[in-house]
Structure 1
Amino acid sequence: MSKYYSIRTKLIAFMLIATTLPLLASISMTFIQTKTALREQAVEENKRLIYQASTNLNNYVDNVARASLAVYNDPNFLRNLAKIPGDYRAVAEVYTTLQTIRAAVPDVFQLYLHSFAANQSTLITNPFPKREERKQAYSGSLHGKTGGDSPDIWVESAHMSHTYGFKAASPDDPARTVITLHRVIKDIPSTERLGVLAIDLNMNTIAAICGRLYDPAKEQIYVVDGQNQIIYQGRSEVNHTDALREETASELNIARSSEGTAQNVAGHFEQDRSMYVYQQLGSTYADWTIVKQIPNETLYARATTLTWNNAMIAIAALVLVIVATLFISIRITGPLKQLMRYMNQIQAGRLHVDIHLSSRDEFGVLARHFRDMMDTVNNLILREYRLEIANKTNQLKALQAQIHPHFLYNTLQSIGTLALQQQGQRAYTLLSSLSKMLRYSMRDQTCVTLREEAEHARLYLELQQERFGDRLEVDLDFAEDTLSVEMPRMTLQPLIENYFKHGADIQPGKGHISLSSRRIDDCWIEIELNNNGPSIPEDKLLDIRGWLHQNHTSTGLATQESDESESIGLRNVMRRLQLNSHPGHSARLEISNREPHGVKITVKLYAGE
């Protein structure tokens, strides 16, 4: 008995060591790989979000700049600048133009205009506009930008609002943080300066754009200028003297300088147990950068949770191993006579005899293995008949299962971009097209008409055009007398998809795809697909034509397989065409290169007599 327990102890120790070490290694590797994957995923997701936000901020600043062009769009405005001291009609027209600018731009706090010609300053603010004579513009409105090489328009970073030298409407009216767009008004086409316009903007739009980028409870967002002064930060008010921490600003400067003078500089760096993801606006008027701070405890929260879960599972597994080891060590024997009786019954032909042994010796293990062997033999015999019956159906389903929409990720990303841009109607149209395609691909139907297949191809190309825009031209021309011909479902999409897998991203110019059908004679139709992508190398083209010819000439499906995944779409199409061909009228698939570049694919289908 002592020897029995000694073996059991050794077996438990061996099982614990064999289980614990791999589990600990697996948990450690899982934690490290999960952290790395989460870090990369978070960086990529936040880069996309911040890029979209930078685009929105660029558009916002550009809209303000375009709205300020109203001073040039009004043909009388420049003349009125010289008249406004005593011409009340001119004053009213100037007020009207300024109110137009104010109405065209959201978040306008106030507008300031100074005419150098008339020595007049005007302030448009609530509750009423103000005007007074001044020989010079308010000193803070130009900020030293009056030099000959200075721009005509620029954006001043966040600062506290003021009244441009006018008396405040109310002594209790507090100052607020604003950004200001300045425009020097010139007597175009000459360079003579007629005046200066300043548009003070609230931070509401910037706050709304940035508010979608972060979780206020866990993360922080900043918008900083070229000197790293904070224009906006997510969780608190900004003082006009606030700036990024010196260490963070230094890292940001190093990261930005490493990109040289490139526009829309983006990247990330780690500091103080946080990940910083940044995106430079690249605006002509505003040298701003969006910076998002993600603490490590937020970034790796899922990895920590997963590690704890794995640890709990490991402990449960160890307990299970101990219990299983004890159970196995107790039940490894059995009586030899009972096992022999079972073997004699099997020898007599009773293959389904119930072998049931509860002994704890080695013969019990042998009996169970013998029972499993007999079950396996019986199952193999039964499976051979079932496989023979279901072979053709399973083969077709396997071929169809290999076809999937590779473009799904790009399509969802395009729809997400449209949603962020608030193009709801277009996003709904694309979602409707995608749902029709998915419903079509999941139909439990082997054959469809060319009309249905053509509609599916049109929806697929419509989604691809959303991704590539003007870089892709599509031409569809299906003859009416061919649309009722039946063909295997999901035939055209894999053929079209080859272009986007092998040619669309490296296409030097505008891509073009044409898809047409025509009736050759009373019994056959021809579907032709052309694209102007890269041509197929001659050696690979010869290989493809070789196995296509093998399928055309063989009586069944070709048995030779290829390890090259590039041709799997063509192989699946060819096999399904063969499986669903009319007896004696096998469908054909031909492929060739076009001059000077491109690929032509032709499918010939039997249309009936």
Structure 2
Amino acid sequence: MSKYYSIRTKLIAFMLIATTIPLLASISMTFIQTKNALREQAVAENKRLIFQASTNLNNYVDNVTRASLAVYNDPNFLRNLAKIPGDYRAVAEVYTTLQTIRSAVPDVFQLYLHSFAANQSTLIANPFPKREERKQAYSDSLHGKSDDKSPDIWVESAHLSHSYGFKAASADDPPRTVITLYRVIKDVPSTERLGVLAIDLNMDTIAEICSRLYDPAKEQIYVIDNQNQIIYEGKSEVSGTDALRQEAATELNSARSDAGTAQTASGHFEQDHSMYVYQQLGSKFANWTIVKQIPNETLYASATTLTWNNAMIAIAALLLVIVATLFISIRITGPLKQLMRYMNQIQAGRLHVDIRLTSQDEIGVLARHFRDMMDTVNNLILREYRLEIANKTNQLKALQAQIHPHFLYNTLQSIGTLALQQQGQRVYVLLSSLSKMLRYSMRDQTRVTLHEEAEHARLYLELQKERFGDRLEVELDFAEDTLRAEMPRMTLQPLIENYFKHGADVQPGKGRICISSQRTPDDWIQIRLENNGPCIPEDKLSEIQRWLRPASLSSDSSQEPDETESIGLRNVMRRLQLNSPPGYNATLTIGNLEPNGVQIIVKLYAGE
């Protein structure tokens, strides 16, 4: 064996490793460092940007809050709340105050006022205001905040607008998304609640502030409340609302908890292949958080481009190494592929393939040893196969030879009974049937079709009907699509014979035997034999079921039951097992019927 080839293999491996590892290490380190620098720069810039946006949103909420104080700036407003049912001047002044609030905030969609003192509800909306008498405020407007400990002012997160129980101005006017500021109006300085004011705000200002924070084609922006519900979501091509609600919720709640009530939470985290930068407003009325989502492909675009440039240079270098490697190693891989082709042919069953490899390297030596091994295996297989065929043939003949004496004894006893009655013509007919059965049982074939087995069983039952007369009923029902299935010869008769051996003579009244067959959807043939004879005792039935299992059939013969009682069932089961294809073992099960009777089911694979 030449060592040149082994050294060449090691040299090729060394060349590839020495070239590839440094290049990959350089590319990886460059990508990681660039990625970290971009992350830090993006986080710092977006934190400054989102902080400015949070300041603008705080100012916006404060402006709406200050505008709602107009109900206290008008000295007559609180007195007019109690007069408005019948005082039209008071009603006009209330309208004027509400219109002042609406004018002060450009995003006001509608205003709702309910007076607890006068039981009156007022809605300021286009095209004209509405007023009606109500004993209590519209339920959604208070949200259960009616106790003295509740805040005087709060903000409801984004929701669809409604008309507060008033009839809609137009059926075609769809609801829109709004946020609502609620203010409880009290008779200051007392704590008596005079009414409640609700201001529905469009999302225009929030959308305008948020639009400056992100690139819709690459990023996404959210404004969420303290329950992680989406107040505003930018119109972006980037998806991720579900991820923000589910995966990022824990991170945001933890950040808010760490920040406490004295300061606002801000920071960033990575989740779901994106970077999230967030800033809490810190408003005591609107506990909102601005969250900006930057996908990794956007955040690390520059790093990816640089990495690809380095990768192209590395690929060019690797191509040169690969060409040299292939040139050197082709004489090694060629014989190896040829040997693999030989192995595939052997795997397909062609065990006598001629292996021809004459190279002097390790592959050539391996091929020659492999060829010697296959010659040895073929000789062993041929010898074992012949022994197995001879053994299997001897077993089948021995098993069938056990059935013939038992079968002849029962049949001749029935014909002898008829001969004593001096019915010579009938005896001739029965002897003809018997001759057909004997000719069938002495055939050299070990496998027959179910059609032939069924005909043999019919002849056997015809002889038994002569013996029992009207005391025996027979029903045969073989499905047409099962008759061509193959099975061991002399399978059905021993199973039928058990009834006449153990149940017919002690059966009170009329005996009945039913034999049927059917094909299952998975190509198995099921043959069912039923009789109305006496049930098998439970202990005896358990013993039979135990030794009918395949494992019991292959155990020591000393473990088997009495020869005279088990010859039929045991021989049938063994022949079914011997004639079953690999992986599709036939089964034979036996059980009792209610209230009396025995059922035997044979299942064998029908094949394609």
**TM-score relative to the length of structure 1:** 0.47
The higher radius of gyration belongs to: 2
